[in-house]
A and B are shown apart, each in its own frame.
Chain A
Amino acid sequence: MPRVASLSQPFRGILEFDIAYGTLDPKEGSHKKPSSSVQSEVHKNKTQLRGSSTVLDVKKSLHQQKKVLYPERQEVRMEQKGKSLKDSDTLQQLGIKTKDDRLYVKDLGPQIGWTTVFFAEYAGPLVIYLWVYQRPWLFYGDRAGDVLPTSLCTHIAAGCWTFHYAKRLLETQFVHRFSHSTMPLFNLFKNCSYYWGFTAYVAYHINHPLFTPPSTTQLYVSLAAFLLCEFGNLSIHLALRNLRPPGSKERKIPYPDGNPMTKLFNAVSCPNYTYEFGSWLAFTTMTQCLPAGLFALAGFYQMAVWALGKHRAYKKDFKNYPPRKAILPFLL
């Protein structure tokens, strides 16, 4: 019968996992085991997989054998270093029939739900910024609040920051559709360090008693640009959501819809990232604050990496992909 070989920790070497390949449906496959021994295996392993069983069924069976390996923690492959198989693929489609056929299982490590991650990642910056906005003594020492009054720019910056992360939390809840339900736990620690750390760094400078705001013109022009880019980013998120109706697995090229902000699709593959960078650039000029600029740059670097990957994937999947750049119109 087919065996499932496992790689990486916590399993050392190959985990032999006998899948009882049942004979219940005489139309299935070419296995030659007589029903009596198969029945006894079924009894021993409490599993029963057939040609019509899916990869998800395999994951669930393995989970029953190894409690720690819940299905989201598994990645099943045909080759040891091969691509991940889809949960919906059936054993028959994959050609798993005889006892010499193998599947490989990789342990992805402890997983955590996407929504949990996003909530932690975005609620943190919201809370931390608003806390530093109060000029706590921990950052500024006593009496920092009454040394110099908070400038209008600082108030507006707090408003923008709050707006941005509140928008992200709402989008996570109501707009985005995720293709995976979980991510590795380590990512939570890494992502939160990035978001929370940068928030404290940027907030410390903008809310500092000795913060020097730029001219009123610079402030208001930048604020307008910020709001425009936030709206643009939301428009793209909505367009992407409508691109793939729930349940469908169809991949489509995104095009502009009725919203004029989506026209940016004609120039770049990932206009959501373009607008996001635009927001942070505007926030930087609005506050004329180097730490905010560093935050914008760091974000841009990461989003550019993602955009280039996404752009490459689009070009590979669609022969007729329109001439666009990845993230910066005409440039990148």
Chain B
Amino acid sequence: MPPKTQDVANLSNGNIYLVFYNVFLSLGWLIVLIQTLHHLVYEAGSLDGLWESTSSVLKIFQSLAILEVIHAAVGLVPSSVAMVIPQVTSRLVILWPVLCAVNNTHSSIGLPMLLVAWSVTEVIRYAYYFLSILKHVPSILTFLRYTLFIVLYPLGVTGELLCLYAALPTVAKTRMYSISMPNALNATFDLHSTLIVFALLYLPVFPMLYMHMFAQRKKVLGKSKKVD
């Protein structure tokens, strides 16, 4: 059931931009997903070269998510900045200082886990968004968005923590991206401690977000059941 012409014509400029944004990102993540699955199937599960196959596209499309902070800040989307920032930040912390900076994370079993979890989630999420703007979300998509998370969210979190753990020894030894005293601003930054604190934050935050998704699922899927 394609959207009505009138519905599309009535879209604001902001929403037209969002349709393009969400379509673009959905397709980008689809590429990451295909690259990941292709590698895992054809390399019979070997992790050699998995990072090399997927990293270019992954870096582009995950980094683009920063735009979502701006979308929330200017009110283009209903999400609050306070919700978007932690989500985008956590992905970028795993992507840049962990995966990109430290090579031995590429041979962690966490890598395929997070690649699958992230790409499947994002393909569905961005597709859901652009179809919502066009007001034609197929119920199967709604179902997938609010059901697959049950497996994908823990899968992704586990993958992220495994990669982070694999990175720690190298970060500690090389003191990469870290600043010590003395300096003019009397500031320090220790990437190693920061990553550990970051990992510890998963303990309270993950259950909260997971439960929130279940509540959302009940609200959204429960409602559509009543309508039928």
Residues of A within 8 A of B (CB): 205-206, 208, 210-212, 287-291
Contact = CB atoms under 8 A, between A and B. Distances in A.
Most chain B beta-carbon contacts within 10 A, residue among A206, A212, A289:
A212
A212 B182 contact: yes
A208 B187 CA distance: 10
A290 B181 contact: no
A210 B187 CA distance: 10
B80 to A, nearest CB: 13
Contacts of B186: 205-206, 208, 211-212, 287-291
B187 A291 contact: yes
A120 B148 CA distance: 43
Contacts of A210: 180-182
Interface of B: 180-188
A30 to B, nearest CB: 39
Nearest to A204: B188
Contacts of A212: 181-184, 186
23 contacts: A205-B181, A205-B186, A205-B187, A205-B188, A208-B181, A208-B188, A210-B182, A211-B181, A211-B182, A212-B181, A212-B182, A212-B183, A212-B184, A212-B186, A287-B186, A288-B184, A288-B185, A288-B186, A289-B186, A289-B187, A290-B185, A290-B187, A291-B187
Contacts of A290: 185-187
Nearest to B188: A205
A321 to B, nearest CB: 28
A165 to B, nearest CB: 21
Contacts of A205: 181, 186-188
A211 B186 CA distance: 6
A162 to B, nearest CB: 19
Nearest to B183: A212
Nearest to A208: B181
Given A212-B182, A291-B187, 6 more contacts: A205-B187, A210-B180, A287-B186, A288-B186, A290-B185, A291-B186
A289 B185 contact: yes
Contacts of B185: 288-290
Contacts of B184: 212, 288
Contacts of A289: 185-187
Contacts of B188: 205, 208
Contacts of A291: 186-187
